[in-house]
Amino acid sequence: MFRFYTARARFDAWLVADRLKQAGIKAHVFNQHASSIVGDVPPDVAQPQVWLEREQDRERALVLLARLQEEAARSGTTRCAACGEDSPANFDLCWNCGASL
């Protein structure tokens, strides 16, 4: 196993790990409850981390991480074709009716 990603918050680490698992890449989250020791140890040691089980998954994982960061950076709104409501551009589903955007 090797460290792949250091997150700012626990939910970021779980989001990355879950996306990797959806793609068939085995990932684990460590240090999810270690934020209270920041200051006693360096922040990169105490922050939540995503670790990959296999080195050969690294390239695919980097592509997925880049895609996830792209999606998070989208701004503006998207109009739902099913109900006509506007949803934030980084949503995958309409907040109003649940249709795919």
- The domain segmentation of the chain, as residue ranges, is 2-75
The CATH architecture that domain 2-75 belongs to is 2-Layer Sandwich (3.30)
Per-residue model confidence as pLDDT tens digits over 48-86 = 999 999 999 999 999 999 998 988 888 889 999 999 999
Q: Quick check: pTM over 0.85?
A: no
43 has pLDDT over 70: no
3-class DSSP string for 8-66: CCHHHHHHHHHHHHHCCCCEEEECCCCHHHECCECHHHHCCEEEECCHHHHHHHHHHHH
Per-residue model confidence as pLDDT tens digits over 5-22 = 999 888 999 999 999 999
